[in-house]
Structure 1
Amino acid sequence: MRRTAAAVATVLTAGLAAGVQQAAAAEPPTCGTPADHQIAEVQGSGNASPLNGQTVRVEGVVTADFQRSDQLKGFFVQDPTPDADPGTSDGLFVYSTKEVAIGDRVLVAGKAVEYNGLTELSPVSAVDVCGTGRIAPAAVRLPLKGGATLERYEGMLLRFGQRLTATETYQLGRYGQVTVSAGGRLFQPTDGHGSTQARNDARKLLVDDGSNVQNPETIPYTDPRVLRSGDSTTGLTGVLTYQFGGYALQPTKPAHFANENPAPERPEHVGGDVRVASFNTLNWFTTLNKRGANTAEEQERQLTKLTAALKGLNADVVGLMEVENNGDTAVKALVDRLNQAVGAGTYTWVRHPYPGTDEIHVALIYKPAKVTPAGAARSSQDPIFDRPPLVQAFRPRRGGTEFTMVVNHFKSKGCGGATGPDQDQGDGQSCYNARRVAQAKAIGAIAAGVRNPLVVGDLNAYTAEDPVKELTGAGLVGQTQRFVRPDRRYSYVFDGQSGELDHALAGKGLSRRVTGATIWHINSDEPVFLDYNTEYNPPRFYRPDAFRSSDHDPVLLGLNLR
């Protein structure tokens, strides 16, 4: 069929219009007023914005919305047309409650500022919604290659496809935060696991809840069960922010943690005919409003949990740390409650002959039906000890080899009052390492003068630190190194890193009689809000069980003494 000139013109016009529409669809839409800067220019390639203090106008797509009054009071935008520089971030936080939705294309005008290390726009003078868009999360894997930092991703939408392990839950109840790490949990660099602080820092990431509220009514990752350190997640997705001196991910999708570290209802089997334990009680005080419970209710809750832990250990001899130094009052109260749970007269205690003047002291309880004290208890008046040791020999009730408990609590790593060689030497061992080494030398001398020594306690030193080396150099043998596999060899978590502060070292002769050793992980992996305190802890989480009875895990050994 022949077409008229008018018909041909109509077809050409329609085709041209369609072509224009296709070209327009292929190009990213823009807001009516052009941006005067790309987001990457605002972020820059350094830690601070090169435009800090200047008013800018940027265009981007909303990737995360945290505008509520109980949240961050702002939203994140990201440039759908990023620059070619991988060192500059294409995302930005906008401190504004102007209503927007994820996927909105917006034009934002505001002052570029650095707020606690985060580049953001604040105050904001205008937010105009002018379309929609979509931003796919950037795939990121920890640790970043080539020593790069997360600064290049600040404000951007990210997805971590790898398995990330919860390595600390300390701030979970207070701030809704959990620290995760690549390659499994993090260990203290001085604990002998081959890690360094730099490698640990490159492997970890703080995960927040998009809120500045303390003690949130809904604690993340507690339904249907409470998150434990050691649990893991895959596909973590959110926007990256910077707060309190570090990077943090604000999830945009719920993170689901697999139960890879289930709570151990009982300690692993250690064998032997005599069981010996060491346990830091985290300030068991019968005097209120000191270092332990503040109220009678808290004290009852604490006593209930400690009793459950000691009952679960079912040890014949237990060295205790952080018991109130008020004569026999605190230790007797603990023994009395324990005997109510396991049977009258099951346990008794050794009176400390020289407990020192510190608010806390070490204690020793035992089952008289299983072991008998051999001779009087001893201690040391050496002024090097802040909390003098308790030394007591025992014989199995039914006959067998005598052994000697040496219960310790070395000087802590806190730096208050540290001078000279006790100051932090920058070697990862923190303050008062020189004091702890001197204490270890004194304990080594004590151990050399008794039969079959078993040195136990909170040494406030990790396995590869000088005080522990001093003890092993004196001929004592660490038992958890013999029987506990490396990934389970920890008793305490500090700053997201696990380590072994609680030790059990035997003389060589006694070491041959150790049938097993374990660390019962009932405390260090548990969130703080499960403990006995009533402040900040939602009441629905308290259980009268052993979990979070302290902040240290107890150590348990089996001895074959017949």
Structure 2
Amino acid sequence: MTKSTAPRPRSRRSLLRATFLPAGVAASLVLVPLPGAFAAPSADAVVSEVYGGGGNSGPTEPGSVRIHDIQGNTRTSPEAGKTIAGVPGIVTGVRTSGSKGFWMQDPHPDADPATSEGIFVFTGSAVPAVKAGDSVLVTAKVSEYYPAYASGGQSVTELTGPAVTVLSSGNAVPAPVVLDDASIPAAYAPDAAGGSIEGLTLKPDAYALDLFESLEGMNVQVKNVRVVQATDKYNELWVEARRSDTKSTRGGALYLGYDAPNSGRLMVQSLAPANQPFPSANVGDQLLGTTTGPLDYNQFGGYTLVANSLGTLKDNGLQREVTAPAPDGTATIATYNVENLSPADPADKFGRLAQGVVTNLRAPDVVALEEIQDDNGPVNDGTVDATVTITKFIDAIKAAGGPAYEWRSINPVDGQDGGQPGGNIRQVFLFNPQRISFTDIPGGDSTTAVDVTGTGADTALTASPGRIDPANPAWASSRKPLVGQFSFRGKKIFLIANHLVAKLGDQGVDSRFQAPARSSEVQRVQQAAVEQAFVAKLEAADPDAKIVSLGDYNDFQFSPALTTLTGGGVLRDLVNSLYPSQRYTYVYQGNSQVLDHTLVSPALTNVQYDVVHINSEFAVQASDHDPQIVRIRP
């Protein structure tokens, strides 16, 4: 790989900072002859600009330590904790908001592809006085900044408390490194058996994470790339720089296994002023031409190209899907995570969600909802009832031309089901009484476990609606599955609405620990085992039981949780019946992935299943999840 240059800005959310210095770092000074590009300052140079109260005077002579010496050939600097005098570089990008500073790059690289030639100079709350093309000398302390230390994120080597001297202006910015199939390895990260990879010598030709780290702070470029995650409210999007990564039917980067994280994904931000529009892109759109800027790392997006110049957006014309009409004699059952819906949400959110139910899902007979908040949303005052929230949603559905749904749910114990504090999210069954009936069986409440009674055709729930084993520790600070008994044309159907524990605390695919730990997986496996036992008991009572378990499982189709839930063949996951290129319900860090599932019992053999893509791929979303629907003939 031929070296070039790249600056990079911090995430828009990185306003509170902490610096961590690895223990036992060793100094390693490399004396490099200084070319004429870093001569003494010109007469009109800005000398001795000091940021962060460091107390250093502006350097007037280049020191002996260059950026590649500071960066070193591992993920942390051999100079960490030291103040280095007179580090030379060309400014390649300036961030004037959020975590302020600038990137600079040495235009005279060494011969080692593992050592970056770029670095971020953090100026704290002060807007940098430099501009791209300035030749500068910087005296500053070398620090390792961890944007996401607790969750295993990578560090950023940077210069802090700088004193800056501008030698000259208008210099050529170092040419960017082009990131594409030829330069980005297919393998994502080295495997340290769950340990830290920080001390490993970088192998940029072998691993994508090593390549990105070796270009940290340098000028990089992508050309004619497709968008794999839509523009968000922070003016960020994701692109796929490797055309050979797995592609979904609609242009996303498809995540089909822990060993296949799609190594070419990059977040794109912009260094343009706030009054310059950022492209509003959907999945499958393209950024044509070149997008160029520093390579950064942040706590929510991993490696990020912070663009000085953006490619031109080409709209691929992505459309929201509408599911097929239901054949006669089939019951239609959908699941939809409505993303913390509360009465305080604007009317247009209720309207968009309702339109999704009525138009895109074709008004299913039953809709299992997740993330319905209580009547005052995140206000944490002990309120647990959600009648206002649900009624407002049902009214919005009627206004959109849908049926007059009825509903069943169970209020949780205040503060016991996780989610947004004060929100008391829960699952809810909406059902169209003109098409399907709910069998009300008294006795269900937030703390009483539902059970199975009878055998064969007489098999029934002891409570409907009911909750599965709510006192079990597996459900601590998490939603308990909601079970309901329905009747469709005289046929009994058992529905289980799920919202398993979230992935909070898991290490990301770009973690400094490889393979990354998925700590939340332990509880989801426990939850899956509790539900699997309940389903097995129901099927033991009636082998012909028609069971649909659906909702937001917060895990993948190949995960241990879903393997546990389907154990013994009690349920089958319908997402596996789709072509691999269609298996996704959610997009995260540029990966189109499955979090929502519909599972059915062996007795349900005549089913049609559809994930209806109306949210996750679009810049304008009613929710961050796509709904799905199953048509069954019980």
With structure 2 as the length reference, what TM-score do the two structures score? 0.64
Greater fraction helix? 1
How many angstroms apart in 1 are the aligned matches of 2:144 and 2:271?
16
The aligned residue for residue 369 of structure 2 is 320
Q: CA deviation at 1:131?
A: 6.7
Q: CA deviation at 1:244?
A: 4.0
AA matched with 1:367? N
AA matched with 2:171? T
Which residue, out of 425, 435, 438, partners 1:370? 435
Alignment of 1:244-393 (within 5 A): 244=299, 246-260=302-316, 262-267=318-323, 271=327, 273-274=329-330, 275-284=332-341, 292-293=342-343, 295=344, 298-312=345-359, 313=361, 314-323=363-372, 324=374, 326=385, 330-342=389-401, 346-352=403-409, 357=413, 359-373=424-438, 377-380=464-467, 382-383=469-470, 384=472, 386-393=479-486
Distance 1:100 1:519, change over 3 A: same
2:408–2:430 CA contact under 8 A, matched in 1: no
How many angstroms apart in 2 are the aligned matches of 1:84 and 1:425?
35
1:492–1:524 CA contact under 8 A, matched in 2: yes
How many angstroms apart in 2 are the aligned matches of 1:467 and 1:94?
44
Greater mean alpha carbon deviation, residues 445-454 or residues 78-87: 445-454
Per-residue CA shift, 1:407-432, capped at 9, x if unaligned?
3224313669xxxxxxx984772544
Alignment of 1:413 with 2:528, yes or no, is no
Alignment of 1:559 with 2:614, yes or no, is no
1:208–1:249 CA contact under 8 A, matched in 2: yes
Which residue, out of 105, 119, 123, partners 1:92? 119
Q: Unmatched 5+ residue regions in structure 2?
A: 1-33, 41-60, 146-155, 186-203, 249-253, 375-383, 418-423, 442-463, 506-515
The aligned residue for residue 104 of structure 2 is 77
AA matched with 1:455? S
1:321–1:362 CA contact under 8 A, matched in 2: yes
AA matched with 1:236? T
How many angstroms apart in 1 are the aligned matches of 2:617 and 2:91?
37
The aligned residue for residue 517 of structure 1 is 609
How many angstroms apart in 2 are the aligned matches of 1:428 and 1:162?
38
The aligned residue for residue 206 of structure 2 is 146
Q: CA deviation at 1:254?
A: 0.9
Which residue, out of 473, 480, 486, partners 2:575? 480
Alignment of 1:57 with 2:86, yes or no, is yes
1:166–1:232 CA contact under 8 A, matched in 2: no
How many angstroms apart in 1 are the aligned matches of 2:128 and 2:497?
60
Which residue, out of 203, 207, 216, partners 2:268? 207
Q: CA deviation at 1:519?
A: 1.2
How many angstroms apart in 1 are the aligned matches of 2:481 and 2:160?
57
Per-residue CA shift, 1:243-265, capped at 9, x if unaligned?
44943321121134444571415
Q: Aligned Cα RMSD in Å?
A: 3.8
Alignment of 1:241 with 2:278, yes or no, is no
How many angstroms apart in 1 are the aligned matches of 2:129 and 2:340?
50
Q: Matched residue of 2:521: which SS?
A: coil
Whichever of the two has the greater Rg, that structure is: 1
Per-residue CA shift, 1:247-292, capped at 9, x if unaligned?
33211211344445714152356655433211222333xxxxxxx3
How many angstroms apart in 2 are the aligned matches of 1:428 and 1:414?
5
Distance 1:552 1:448, change over 3 A: farther
AA matched with 1:249? L
Distance 1:112 1:161, change over 3 A: farther
Q: Matched residue of 2:37: which SS?
A: coil
Q: CA deviation at 1:490?
A: 1.8
2:468–2:480 CA contact under 8 A, matched in 1: no
How many residues of Structure 1 are paired with residues of Structure 2 in the alignment?
470
The aligned residue for residue 168 of structure 2 is 129
Q: CA deviation at 1:406?
A: 0.9
Q: CA deviation at 1:356?
A: 5.2
Q: Matched residue of 1:440: which SS?
A: helix
Alignment of 1:158 with 2:158, yes or no, is no
How many angstroms apart in 2 are the aligned matches of 1:444 and 1:219?
55
How many angstroms apart in 2 are the aligned matches of 1:425 and 1:94?
32
AA matched with 1:30? A
Distance 1:98 1:361, change over 3 A: closer
AA matched with 1:524? S
How many angstroms apart in 2 are the aligned matches of 1:152 and 1:327?
52
The aligned residue for residue 40 of structure 1 is 68
1:415–1:431 CA contact under 8 A, matched in 2: no
Q: What is the percent sequence identity of the aligned residues?
A: 23
